[in-house]
Chain A
Amino acid sequence: MPVSDWLELKTLKLLSQHTISIVAAALSFFLVTKVIKYAVGAGPVAEAFEYVDEAILLILFLWFTYQMLLLLWKGRVKWGNGNELLSLVA
């Protein structure tokens, strides 16, 4: 099956949206924990927040991977679902 069947324009658009969103979300969590760690200073609480950050980023990455695979799988299915109508009315 050619790559173009998997990566049509709509799929690429969704992939870019998901990538930007996950990067923004990960950065948000990273910055928030950074600020908290800076506020509480060095110690066990700061260390705990480092682990919290690690865990959240891990789960976000897992979820993002799942979403990517799901998008690629859905993009494989072509059956004329009327998405082209959006370009007519938008």
Chain B
Amino acid sequence: MEMNFSAWLRDTGRLYVRYMAVGLATLPMALAYAMAKQNGVSEHILLPVLAAAGTATAFYAWKKLGDKHVELPGVLAHSDLRWTNLWRDVEFQTKAAPVLQSLYVIQHVAATPLPAASQEVELQNFHLIEIWHRKGVHDFKQFQITLPKEDWLTFAITRKRDELLEDAKLQHKYTESALVKPREVTSFPQPVAFPFIPGAGLSLVKE
């Protein structure tokens, strides 16, 4: 409970900083608005211009600060008993299904190893993993990344979402000729919850 509250407080503090940044970024426009208003410029002109320019600046400042929220604290995860139980189940599930045809879904990111037949790159100790990043209702970005074959799922879980995506982008950049280029995905499979962890949120998706 204490931990939840501190996390909530930390996130609220970050949001406060972001709102303050938005306010500070629009300060030059506010000064211009004040000067124009003192010189008798009509509000009918000033207000729309201020709103448009201010919103654009706010958007930039908000994006620039970025969302630093860590959605899956991987380091903490290993020390938690409940996580350990979850972990064991995940490993069991992985071993029980050697031919993985399911998606691992966590936080707007879905990853799956590609079937061998469709792989353009077959490395001895690595799996070519396909990653979907869901950015909106119909907005998907797809990346591919090579991860250790033995524990690709372990790797995917312990990595933070942004790191995983960053790695995928970098790998794609440096091995562009070997990898399939990202393509837009038009449909996204619906997740099915793990039957052994009701409501745990870790989901496997049948392709």
Chain A residues close to B by CB (< 8 Å) = 13, 17-18, 20-22, 24-25, 28-29, 44, 47-56, 58-60, 62-64, 66, 77, 79-86, 88-90
Q: How far is the CB of B40 from chain A (nearest CB, A)?
A: 12
On chain B, the number of residues with a Cβ less than 8 Å from chain A's Cβ atoms is 55
Q: How far is the CB of A73 from chain B (nearest CB, A)?
A: 9
A83-B201 contact, Cβ under 8 Å, with A47-B38, A88-B82? yes
Contacts of A81 in B (CB 8 A): 105-108, 134, 201
Q: Pick the interface stretch among B2-10, B123-131, B142-150.
A: B2-10
Contacts of B155 in A (CB 8 A): none
Contacts of A21 in B (CB 8 A): 12, 15-16, 18-19
B15's partner among A17, A58, A86 (CB-CB below 8 A) is A17
User: Secondary structure at chain A's binding surface: helix, strand, loop or mixed?
Assistant: helix
A80-B193 contact, Cβ under 8 Å, with A52-B34, A89-B82? yes
Contacts of A58 in B (CB 8 A): 47, 50-51, 54
Q: How far is the CB of B23 from chain A (nearest CB, A)?
A: 5
* Contact between chains at A82 and B203 (CB < 8 Å): yes
Contacts of A85 in B (CB 8 A): 72, 106, 200-202
Contact with A along B183-196 (1 / 0, CB 8 A): 00000101101000
Contacts of B73 in A (CB 8 A): 89-90
Contacts of B35 in A (CB 8 A): 48
Give the 8 A-B residue pairs with the shortest CB-CB distance, closest first.
A84-B201, A51-B34, A59-B54, A55-B30, A21-B15, A25-B19, A82-B106, A80-B191
